């Protein structure tokens, strides 16, 4: 008796059809799930909750009582890391290049291409040491991780959409989004972009701010590029609540103009040169309303989805929430750095712009000499829990601008 044929050509063809149909159904469901995720992600009405990295309450309170003690405490781990990192760099120079006591002089004599090559080789060499569990390399890495965790107070906060809100203006909440098409055609090569590209972008953004605010003068600092994919010439998004200026910024800038400021920030020196070239004196600066703004633009064809920028409604921030913690010269650079940090408060109201495209510019006020409550424009990159898995990397460009309004 012949055994029955389990698969005839016809039944086998039918089975393939059924399998293809099942695969198609699964793919349709996956696409529907991704679309739902995107709708949830870009919803203008829905808020999300995420962990935001504030500075610890104890450090902010210390900074309000004793700024010098807070600065010493806050930046000491960075000093220690920089020292350890420098020692590792010296070891690399000795082992790989045979450099000795002439290390500093050799670095100063390097051409840009030579320095890029050495830095790349140093990273490869360090990665090899880490794989080999080299004690010195592990110590440096541990010190770096300690900086990222020290004095942080991560806090779960709701973040709402600012799109369509009447109060989403510079005068009210302290931030707004403005439609603007850039004349810059490509940012593909971030590190080697022509200087004219940066100049063009600065000029068009300054013109936009003048038009939007009515400022008589607008001066720009060098642009800063941020990316989540480590693109050349970029920095990673900053996950920490801060404002880029302290309450006495006009005095610092005027002090550079009249020679009374002993420890200016590098950014202030650059702005002072532009003010001098424009014929603006320290006395004229002090007599004017001075506003420092940031512009923030997403780059690329797809709207920003990964690690978006979030901002606090400045009306919800009290003076005792924020303190400036100065980084003295010599910690990470030859110049001082004065940022404001904040402790968590439930009353803070956080916002973001869903679907922010490269045809929009986000503007927010960092400092306003006419605001007696000081620097309250807190911001931070945040993680959106509904970010689609296939969302492209974030790439963005930002500028800080000094706007002067004649009295």
Check residue 6 and give its pLDDT.
43
Predicted confidence at residue 55, as pLDDT, reads 96
- Angle at the Cα of 166 from the Cα atoms of 163 and 167, rounded to 5 degrees: 95
Structure confidence at residue 43 (pLDDT): 42
Print the domain residue range for 382: 47-58+154-405
Nearest to 198 by CA among 184, 211, 210, 188: 184
Question: Does residue 291 fall inside a structural domain?
Answer: yes
| Number of domains the chain is built from | 1
Q: Is 279 left (phi over 0), alpha (psi -120 to 50) or beta?
A: left
308 within domain boundaries: yes
- Residue 8 domain-assigned? no
* Predicted local distance difference test score (pLDDT) of residue 234: 81
How far apart CA 338 and CA 328 sit, in angstroms, is 9
Note whether residue 284 is domain-resident: yes
User: Is 130 within a domain?
Assistant: no
CA–CA distance, 384 with 407 (Å, rounded to integer): 43
The DSSP call for residue 316 is G
Tally Cβ neighbours within 10 Å of residue 43: 15
> Does residue 38 sit within a domain?
no
Q: Tell me how far apart the terminal alpha carbons of the chain are, to the nearest angstrom.
A: 108
Q: Is residue 74 part of a domain?
A: no
10-residue stretch averages of pLDDT, the chain, 407 residues long: 47 50 54 44 64 96 95 92 92 88 78 86 94 96 84 95 94 94 74 70 94 96 87 85 89 94 92 96 95 92 84 94 91 88 96 91 93 82 90 90 90
Q: How many Å is the maximal CA-CA distance in the chain?
A: 111
What per-residue confidence (pLDDT) applies to 23? Answer: 52
Please tell me the predicted confidence (pLDDT) of residue 289: 94
Return the sign of the alpha-carbon dihedral for residues 15, 17, 20, 22. Answer: negative
Task: Give residue 261's pLDDT.
Answer: 92
pLDDT of residue 333: 83
CA proximity to 285, closest of 320, 257, 248: 257
Residue 181 lies in a domain: yes
Instruction: Please report the pLDDT score of residue 312 as a whole number.
Output: 97
């Amino acid at each position: 008796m012949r055994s029955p044929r389990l698969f005839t050509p016809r039944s086998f063809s039918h089975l393939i059809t059924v399998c293809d149909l099942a695969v198609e159904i699964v793919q349709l469901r996956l696409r529907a799930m991704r679309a739902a995720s995107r709708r949830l992600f870009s919803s203008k009405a829905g808020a999300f909750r995420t962990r935001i990295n504030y500075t610890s309450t104890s450090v902010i309170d210390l900074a309000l009582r004793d700024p010098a003690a807070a600065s010493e405490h806050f930046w000491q781990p960075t000093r220690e890391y920089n020292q350890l990192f420098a020692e590792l760099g010296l070891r690399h120079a000795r082992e790989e290049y045979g450099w000795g006591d002439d290390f500093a002089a050799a670095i100063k004599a390097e051409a840009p291409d030579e320095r890029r090559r050495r830095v790349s080789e140093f990273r490869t060499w360090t990665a090899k040491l880490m794989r080999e569990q080299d004690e010195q390399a592990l110590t440096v890495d541990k010190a770096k991780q300690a900086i990222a965790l020290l004095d942080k107070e991560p806090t779960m906060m709701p973040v709402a959409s600012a799109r369509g809100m009447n109060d989403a203006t510079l005068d009210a909440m302290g931030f707004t989004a403005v439609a603007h098409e850039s004349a810059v055609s490509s940012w593909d090569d971030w590190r080697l972009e022509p200087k004219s590209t940066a100049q063009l972008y600065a000029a068009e953004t300054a013109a936009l701010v003048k038009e939007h605010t009515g400022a008589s003068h607008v001066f720009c600092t060098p642009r800063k590029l941020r990316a989540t994919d480590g693109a050349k010439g970029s920095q990673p998004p900053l996950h920490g609540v801060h404002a880029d200026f302290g309450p006495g910024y006009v005095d610092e800038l005027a002090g550079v103009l009249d020679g009374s400021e002993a420890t200016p920030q590098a950014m202030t020196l650059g702005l002072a040169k532009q003010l001098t070239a424009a014929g603006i004196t320290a006395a004229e600066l002090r007599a004017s309303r001075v506003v420092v703004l940031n512009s923030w633009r997403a780059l690329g064809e797809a709207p920003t989805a990964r690690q978006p920028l979030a901002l606090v409604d400045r009306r919800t921030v009290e003076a005792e929430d924020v303190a400036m913690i100065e980084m003295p010269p010599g910690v990470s650079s030859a110049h001082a750095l004065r940022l404001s940090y904040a402790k968590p408060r439930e009353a803070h109201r956080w916002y973001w712009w869903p679907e922010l495209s490269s045809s929009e510019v986000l503007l927010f006020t960092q400092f306003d000499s006419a605001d007696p409550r000081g620097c309250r424009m807190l911001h931070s990159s945040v993680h959106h829990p509904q970010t689609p898995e296939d969302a492209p990397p974030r790439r963005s460009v930002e500028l800080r601008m000094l706007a002067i309004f004649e009295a």
